[in-house]
Amino acid sequence: MARSSMHGHWSSRLAFILAATGSAVGLGNVWKFPYVAGENGGGAFVLVYVACVLLLGWPVMMAEVMLGRRGRHSPVNTMRILAEEERAPRAWTLLGWLGIVAGFLILSYYSVIAGWTLAYTVRAAVGVFDGITREGVEQVFGALVADPERLLAWHTIFMALTMVVVARGVEHGLERAVRFLMPALFLLLLLLVGYAMAQGDFARGVAFLFKPDFSALTGQAVLAAMGQAFFSLSLGMGAIMMYGSYLPQHASIPRTTFTVAMSDTAVALLAGLAIFPIVFGEGLAPDQGPSLIFKTLALAFGHMPAGALFGSLFFLLLVFAAWTSAISLIEPAVAWLIESRRMRRVEAAVWAGTVAWLLGIGTVLSFNAWSGYTLWGRTFFDLLDYLTSNVMLPLGGLAIALFAAWVMREASVREEIELPGRAFRLWHAVLRYVAPAGIVLIFLNAVGAF
């Protein structure tokens, strides 16, 4: 196919790898992965997680990138084009809409949480956590989320940073940003791992992450590993499909997506190596759940040598990880506005960013003024998080696997996925049978069927 994206292309395979890795690497790697691993026994969970990345995440990522490159448009228009090309029902366009809406909703609350990381970067740098007590950490976090004006200010700053990058386009905005942010993120991670080796209980941290204890591995932990592997790669939200539309035709989809999947996994493991030695070195528990970063680590940095410096570097790392993900979350909506509403890129970025910012106010208020208002037992933030993570993303990933493996003609798929015969048949079989079954299990577990 000789289609070309009207939005531009990545200048190289490396640019795509950096951008897609930036999309995949986010708060889920540095914030969520360590605490989920901590809650599920460490090493055995990590082993299952890596296996799920290879058996579930990578094949679906290949399919999503393949759809994007073949369509060369926003997810909505890509699925419209491909459905017409394969003589499939036009209803498959809903897959594109599902991805754009899911990514847009995620961005609205992701920006608020990312604002916390900006706030904590400043607090760590000025020494707020120096010598702090456990009660003091609770007070700092509580004061932040209880103040809607402060949360709104940080949310606004982060959304503005995201809009500025996206408004500059593919090569001058997205690519230039990830060429700086991703190497900086890896460098910060390595510095923090070095700090953990010097100041924390590194041997215990390594043993916790890489010494499997299968007695601690429950069926629920296996399902958690499957879900974490799938969601960590940013699948089903339109971002990877959008980035795939900018991929040069000569680039190998299997090789580039494998590199992205392994880079994403490496960041998660490095985050664990940076966090758990510090947690163990300070005599804290690794199974603290979501508070592991904003409470437990803040307490640990407050009692360690050079804690203000390395604490601020750690939260800056979180800012970079969140920024690269946020850029990818807004890009599909911006591309659709340019294609279908004939907007200029700057105008589209402002419109999309403003609407996501306005929706994010609901998340800001759900932590304070609206905390007493719930629907089905969930606050506004909890409801958005549940619908996107547990319903929309699994459905999007399942639809991607089904369309690529069952609806598209094999000849069309082979044109994009250049694998030798046996390897192609294996991948195609995994995409047809294994991936859908795995995603259905994740979905059923997420909605409480197990």
Count of Cβ atoms closer than 10 Å to residue 69 Cβ: 24
Q: Would the CA dihedral through 70, 72, 78, 83 be positive or negative?
A: negative
pLDDT recorded at residue 125? 95
Any idea what DSSP says for residue 416? H
Q: Which amino acid is at 309?
A: L
Rounded to whole angstroms, how far apart are CA atoms 178 and 157?
19
CA distance 32 to 24: 13
What per-residue confidence (pLDDT) applies to 390? Answer: 84
Q: Which of 297, 316, 314, 319 is nearest to 129 (CA)?
A: 297
Task: State how far the alpha carbon of 256 is from the alpha carbons of 16, 201, 244, 410, in Å.
Answer: 8, 36, 10, 21
* CATH superfamily, region 13-115+150-292+316-360+394-446: Amino acid/polyamine transporter I (1.20.1740.10)
Q: Domain segments of the chain: what residues?
A: 13-115+150-292+316-360+394-446
CB atoms closer than 10 angstroms to residue 180: 11
Evaluate whether 122 touches 154 at the Cβ level (below 8 Å).
no
- The pLDDT assigned to 39 comes to 79
Q: In the prediction, which pLDDT does 449 show?
A: 55
Identify the pLDDT of residue 2: 61
Whole-angstrom distance, CA of residue 331 vs CA of residue 413: 25
* This prediction's pTM: 0.93
Contact 65, 257 (CB under 8 A): yes
Q: Is residue 386 within 8 Å of 181, Cβ to Cβ? A: no
User: So what's the pLDDT on residue 222?
Assistant: 85
Q: Token pair of 53, please? A: 């990345």
pLDDT reported for residue 1: 55
Q: What is the pLDDT along the chain (450 residues), one digit of tens a residue?
A: 567 888 989 999 999 999 999 998 887 787 778 878 877 878 889 999 999 999 999 999 999 999 999 999 999 999 999 999 999 999 999 999 999 999 999 999 999 999 999 999 999 999 999 999 989 999 999 999 999 999 999 999 999 999 999 999 998 999 999 999 999 999 999 999 999 999 999 999 999 888 888 887 888 888 888 888 887 898 999 999 999 999 999 999 999 999 999 999 999 899 889 988 988 888 887 777 666 788 888 988 998 899 999 999 999 999 999 999 999 999 999 999 999 999 999 999 999 999 999 999 999 999 999 999 998 889 999 999 889 988 899 999 999 999 999 999 999 999 999 899 899 999 999 999 999 999 999 888 877 755
| Spatial distance between the Cα atoms of 81 and 94, rounded to a whole number of angstroms | 12
